[in-house]
C-alpha cells in the first residue's frame, strides 16, 4: 500500500444563494471525488487554475477540514474516520510551507524561539542543551548559520526567511509537508536555491511533499509526478516529464499552451 492513499475524497461547502425572496443553499464541490497516492520520499506536484480546489484538498489532507466523503489512509489507518479528538493529535504529522515566509513567521520571536516551540510540539520535554543542539542542527539542515539563532525574522532576506519557515515545518518531524507556492514570492535567483534545498531535503531526509503551484516550470523541475486539478477533480496524472512531453487531457494541454516559454521547450 502507498505511503498516503486518498480515495474518492469529497469536500463540499454549503453556501447560501439566491435572493431574499427565493433563498436556497448551494453546494460547492471544491473537492469532488479525488483519488491519488503518494510514496514515501516522493514530491507530488499539484497544479490547476485558481479555484480548482488545490487548497481545499490540502487542507482536508492536513486534517484542517473534515471531508464530506472518502478516505485518507496513512499507515493503514483511515484519518477521515478518526474522531475529532484524535484528529487534533494527527495534525502535527502534516506541516505547511506558505508562499509568504514573512507573514507566516512571528515577527516578535527569535529564530531560536520559533524553532524551539515547533520542536517542543513533538518533544515537549526536550530542553537545555538538547534543545539548543536540535535548533542548531535544524538551521544547518536548511543552510542557515546557527550563530544567527538570536535574530528576528526581519533581519533576514526573503530566501533566508523561507529557509526558516522550512526549518519550522521540519521541526515537528512531519510525515508529509505541503508546500503552497513556496517560491512564488521570491526573486528568480533565490527561487532555484530554495527548490534545490527542497530537493536536498528529499534526498537526505526522505521528505514526502505535495507541492502546490501555478508555475509549471517550477513543478517540472521539482516534482516526480504531477496531478492536474480542474473543478474539484483530477483530470490528469503522470510522471512529470511524460506529462509535459505528451499531455493527454484537453485542459492540461491548455494549461501548458498558456505558458509559451514552456510549451516551446516541452
Ligand X SMILES: Nc1ncnc2c1ncn2[C@@H]1O[C@H](COP(=O)(O)OP(=O)(O)OP(=O)(O)O)[C@@H](O)[C@H]1O
Q: Can you give the binding site for ligand X, defined by CB under 6 A?
A: 13, 15, 28, 30, 48, 50-56
Phi/psi for 24 (5° steps) reads -150, 165
C-alpha cell, 144: 542557515
What is the rounded CA–CA span in Å between residue 149 and residue 158? 16
Closest approach of ligand X to the CB of residue 81, in Å: 22
Nearest approach, Cβ of 124 to ligand X (angstroms)? 32
CB of 201 to ligand X, least distance (A): 24
| 69-74 sheet: strands from edge to edge | 24-38, 4-17, 69-74, 77-78
Instruction: Name the residue nearer to ligand X (CB basis): 115 or 222.
Output: 222
Considering beta carbons, is residue 13 or 155 the nearer one to ligand X?
A: 13
Q: Decide whether 13 or 239 has the Cβ nearer to ligand X.
A: 13
Q: What grid cell was written down for 217?
A: 516550470
**Nearer CB in complex with ligand X: 53/153:** 53
To the nearest whole angstrom, how small is the minimum distance from the Cβ of residue 28 to ligand X? 5
- CB-nearer residue toward ligand X: 48 or 247: 48
Nearer to ligand X, 28 or 259 (CB): 28
Give least dist CB 94 to ligand X, A.
16
CB of 49 to ligand X, least distance (A): 7
Amino acid at each position: 500500500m502507498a505511503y498516503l492513499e486518498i480515495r474518492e475524497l469529497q469536500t463540499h461547502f454549503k453556501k447560501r444563494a439566491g435572493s431574499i425572496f427565493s433563498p436556497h443553499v448551494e453546494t460547492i464541490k471544491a473537492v469532488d471525488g479525488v483519488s491519488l497516492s503518494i510514496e514515501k520520499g516522493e514530491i507530488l506536484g499539484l497544479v490547476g487554475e485558481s479555484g480548482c480546489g488545490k487548497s481545499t484538498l490540502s487542507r482536508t489532507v492536513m486534517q484542517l477540514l473534515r471531508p464530506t466523503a472518502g478516505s485518507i489512509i496513512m499507515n493503514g489507518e483511515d484519518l477521515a474516520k478518526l474522531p475529532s479528538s484524535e484528529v487534533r493529535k494527527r495534525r502535527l504529522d502534516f506541516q505547511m510551507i506558505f508562499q509568504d515566509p514573512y507573514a507566516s513567521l512571528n515577527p516578535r520571536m527569535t529564530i531560536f524561539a520559533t524553532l524551539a516551540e515547533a520542536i517542543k510540539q513533538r518533544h515537549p520535554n526536550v530542553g537545555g542543551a538538547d534543545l539548543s543542539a536540535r535548533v542548531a542542527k535544524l538551521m544547518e539542515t536548511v543552510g542557515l548559520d546557527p550563530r544567527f539563532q538570536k535574530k528576528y525574522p526581519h533581519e533576514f532576506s526573503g530566501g533566508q526567511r523561507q529557509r526558516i519557515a522550512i526549518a519550522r515545518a521540519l521541526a515537528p518531524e512531519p510525515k508529509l509537508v505541503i508546500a503552497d507556492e513556496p517560491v512564488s514570492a521570491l526573486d528568480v535567483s533565490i527561487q532555484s536555491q530554495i527548490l534545490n534545498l527542497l530537493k536536498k531535503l528529499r534526498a537526505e531526509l526522505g521528505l514526502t511533499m505535495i507541492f502546490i503551484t501555478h508555475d509549471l516550470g517550477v513543478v517540472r523541475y521539482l516534482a516526480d509526478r504531477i496531478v492536474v486539478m480542474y473543478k474539484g477533480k483530477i483530470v490528469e496524472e503522470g510522471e512529470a516529464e511524460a506529462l509535459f512531453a505528451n499531455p493527454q487531457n484537453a485542459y492540461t494541454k491548455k494549461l501548458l499552451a498558456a505558458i509559451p516559454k514552456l510549451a516551446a521547450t516541452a
